[in-house]
Amino acid sequence: MKKIILLIAAMLTLSACDTSKTYEPITNSKGITEQLISSDVTTNIKKITIEGHEYLVFEQSVYCGMSIAVVHSESCPCKKQ
């Protein structure tokens, strides 16, 4: 019985989720670049670039819809001047 439990524990350890995923930026036909930064079951965080400005978009799925917030990124090139 101990061997079975150890085998199952080893399998779960080896198949754990990789939290260091990287997402490639995507540019659409309007010149807007979008890159997913973080994603889980209910929340997505995206970085979008529009006309040289970077914005962070927070999307959260809720019971009857979606909640979205957009903020101007602190790493935007316009804030480095």
**HSE (side-chain half, CA atoms, 13 Å) at 74:** 0
SS (H, E, C) 15-74: CCCCCCCCCCCEECCCCCEEEEEEECCCEEEEEEEECCEEEEEEEEEECCEEEEEEEECC
pLDDT, average across residues 4-32: 64
Look at the pTM and tell me if it is higher than 0.85.
Answer: no
| pLDDT tens per residue across span 3-12 | 666 656 655 5
| pLDDT tens per residue across span 59-78 | 888 777 778 888 888 888 88
Task: Report which of 21, 19, 20, 25 is spatially closest to residue 54, judged by C-alpha positions.
Answer: 25
